[in-house]
Amino acid sequence: MKIYNVENPARFLEIIQQCKGTVELISKQGDRLNLKSELTKYLALSKLFTDNTLINEMELIASDPDDVKLLLNYMVSGI
């Protein structure tokens, strides 16, 4: 799934931590980075969120269907 217009990176990461299964960020090179891993989260996302600005687009894969619903709800409501 693609996530668009992430305006609040801290809230986005809170939503990721609420997910039950694995949530992976797909890099532009096609690498899958596990966002639930603290090390990967800080290494992979520090560059994205350094400026604390709007992130236009990112591709995620969630392993649990309930997590997909949670992420979709976040996208729709923004909370």
pLDDT in tens, 33-66: 888 888 877 766 666 666 555 567 889 999 999 9
Amino acid at 72: L
pLDDT-above-90 percentage for the chain: 32
Q: What is the 3-state secondary structure (H, E, C) of 10-71?
A: HHHHHHHHHCCCCEEEECCCCCEEECCCHHHHHHHHHHHHCCCCCEEEEEEEECCHHHHHHH
Residues 14, 19, 20, 21, CA torsion sign: negative
Task: Please give the class, per CATH, of domain 2-77.
Answer: alpha beta
Instruction: Give the bridge partners for 25, in sequence order.
Output: 33, 60
